[in-house]
Structure 1
Amino acid sequence: MDWLQVLVLAVIQGLTEFLPISSSAHLILAPVLFGWVDQGLAFDVALHLGSLSAVVLYFRRDLIAMTVSWTRSVTHREVNDDARLAWGVLFATIPVGLAGLLFKDAIEEQLRSPLYIAAGLIVFGLVLSWADWRHRGKREVNQMNWKDVLLIGLAQALALFPGTSRSGITMTAGLLLGLSREATARFSFLLSIPVIVIACALKSWDLYNATVPIDWAFMAGGVVMSGISAFLCIHFFLVFINRIGMQPFVIYRIILGIALIWLFA
C-alpha cells in the first residue's frame, strides 16, 4: 500500500458506511478497479474503527443518555424513551450477529464477485426507491414498537450479502414501517455501533490468528481519515435527507451496478 491508497480507501469507508450504497461493495471493488493489492484484514479493521469512532462521537449525548437510562431500567425497572431505544438497538442487533456467526465465511468465500455485488446494488436499490416513494412516514424513533425493532433487525441481517448495504436495508425497512426519513436514518446510524463492534471483534480475532505484519502508520492514518469522512457524512446526511430523499443514492447504485455488469460480465 501507499498513502494514496490509504486516503482513498479511508474516504470510501467513511462515506459508504453510512450512505445507503454499500461500504463492503466499495471496499471489495476499489482494489479491483484501481489495480491495487488487497488492503488486507488489518487495514479493514482500522477503517471500521474510524467509522465507529465517528458515529460514537456524533451521537455521544444520545449514547450517554441511553446508557444511563438503560442501566436504570436494569437496576431500578425505570423505563423511558432512551431506555427503550437502547433496548431496541440491542435487540435489533441479535439477528445480524447470529447470521454473521453462521454464514460469514460462506458469504465471504462465494458472494464477493463483482456480479453478485452488482445484483445486490440494483435489486436492493430498487426496493429502497420503492420504499421511499411508497409512503412518507412521520413516526419518530421514540414511536417505534417491538415489531418495528424486530423487522428492522431481520432486514439488517441481509446486509451480510455484498452490495446490499447495511444502512440501505435498515433505512428501507424503517421507511416501509412508516418512520420519517430522519428517524430511520438516525436509528440506522445507532444500529451501526454494535454491528461495527461485532465486525471489528470478529476481524480482530481472524487477524490475531493470521499473525500478519502490520504497518502502524497506515493503520493510524486509516482510522483518522475514515473517522473524519464518516463524521462529516453523518452530519450532512441528517441535515439534507428530508430535502434530497433516497432517490439520488438509488440512481448511483443502479449506475454502479450496470457498470459492474458491463465490466465483468
Structure 2
Amino acid sequence: MSIIEIIVLALIQGLTEFLPISSSAHLILPSQILGWQDQGLAFDVAVHVGSLAAVVIYFRQEVKTILAAMFKQVISKEASSEANLGWLVALATIPALLFGLAFKDIIEVYARSTAVIATTTIVFGLLLWWADVKAKQTVSMQMLGWQKALIIGIAQAIAMIPGTSRSGITITAGLMLGLSRSEAAKFSFLMSIPIILIAGSYHTLKLATGTEAVDWNAIILGTSLSFISAYACIYFFLAVIEKMGMLPFVIYRLLLGGVLIALMM
C-alpha cells in the first residue's frame, strides 16, 4: 500500500469504529471510487489494535475498577455495581460471538455488496434517528439488568451485517431501552473492548498461521494513526453527544447511503 492509502484507511478505521456511521460503508468507498485493493489481514489487525488501545486507555479507570470488582466478587462473593456492569458487558458480548460463529462465512459471501451496505446504512440510520427522538433517557448503565444488556448484545450481533455500524446499532438499542445518549455511548464503547479483542485475536491467529507478508512500516503507521483518530473520536463524541444528539450522524448516513447507491448506477 502507498502512504496515502495507509493514512486514509487507518484514519477511516479509527474514526468510524466508534462513531455511529458504519466503518464498512466507508471502507468500501476507496475501492469503489479509487480502485484501491483490499488492505490485507495484517493491516486490518493493526488498525483494530490501534482502536482497541484507544478505547482501553480512554476508559482505563473504568476498566481497572470493573475488572478489580469482578475479580473481588469471584474471590470473596462481594457484589458491587461495578462488578455487575462488568458481567453485563460480558453477557452482551455472547450474542455476537454466537452469531459470528454461525453466520460469518454467509455474511462474507452474500452481505458485503454495495447494495447491502447502502441499504443498511440508510435503514439503521433512520432507526437511530427514531430511537433518539423517542428516547426517555432515564436509565443508567448500572440499572440495565441482564435482559436489557442481552438485547443490546443481540443488536451488536446484528452489526455483523455490513453497513449497520456496531456503535450505531448498540447506541440505538440503548436509547430504546431508556439510556441517556452519553450512557448508551459509554456502554457501547465498553462493549467494544471484548469484541474487538476477540476479533483481533482471531485475525492475529489467522495471520500467524498464514503466509501473508507483513509490511512493518504500514503496520506501525496504521496502528498509530488508528489509535490517534479513535481516541480523538471517543473524546469528541462523548463531549458533544448530549447537546448535539444523533441527527447530524443520521443525516450523514443518509447522504453516505445515497452516494453508495449513486455509485451502483
TM-score normalised by length of structure 2: 0.97
Tell me what 2:221 maps to: 221
Q: Which amino acid aligns with 2:146?
A: W
Three-state SS of the structure 2 residue aligned to 1:92 is helix
Verify: 1:20 aligned to 2:25, yes or no: no
Structure 2 SS opposite 1:87:
helix
* 3-state secondary structure, aligned to 2:118: helix
Matched, 1:197 2:197: yes
Q: How does 1:83-232 map to 2 (within 5 A)?
A: 83-232=83-232
Over the matched positions of the two proteins, sequence identity in percent amounts to 52
1:33-54 deviations in Å (ceiling 9; x for gaps): 2221211111111010000000
Cα offset, 1:102, TM superposition: 1.3
Shift of 1:213: 0.5
Secondary structure at 2:159 match in 1? helix
| Unaligned residue ranges in structure 1 (runs of 5+) | none
Alignment RMSD, CA only?
1.0
Quote the Cα distance in structure 2 between the aligned partners of 1:61 and 1:33: 42
Cα distance in 2, alignment partners of residues 252 and 234 from structure 1 = 18
Supply the distance in 2 between the matched residues of 1:220 and 1:150 (Cα, whole angstroms).
Answer: 36
Tell me the equivalent position of 1:245: 245
The Cα of 1:205 is off from its aligned counterpart by: 2.6
- 1:22–1:168 CA contact under 8 A, matched in 2: yes
Instruction: Tell me the SS of whatever aligns to 1:160.
Output: coil
> Runs of 5+ in structure 2 lacking a partner?
none
Deviates more, 1:176-185 or 1:104-113: 104-113
Q: Contact 2:48/2:196 (CA < 8 Å) preserved in 1?
A: yes
Aligned to 1:256: 256
Verify the 8 A CA contact 2:135 2:179 in the aligned structure 1. no
Q: TM-score, normalised by structure 1?
A: 0.97
Instruction: Write the distance in 2 (CA, Å) between the matches of 1:241 and 1:261.
Output: 29
Cα distance in 1, alignment partners of residues 257 and 107 from structure 2: 19
- The Cα of 1:198 is off from its aligned counterpart by 1.4
Q: What is the count of residue pairs matched by the alignment?
A: 265
Residue 46 (structure 1) aligned with residue 46 (structure 2)? yes
Q: Is the 8 A contact 1:156 1:166 kept in 2?
A: yes
Q: Is the 8 A contact 2:25 2:163 kept in 1?
A: yes
Show the counterpart of 1:234: 234
Contact 1:28 1:112 in 2 (8 A): no
Amino acid at match of 1:224: S
Alpha-carbon contact 1:48-1:196 (below 8 Å) kept:
yes
For the residues of structure 2 that align with 1:159 and 1:206, how far apart are their CA atoms? 22
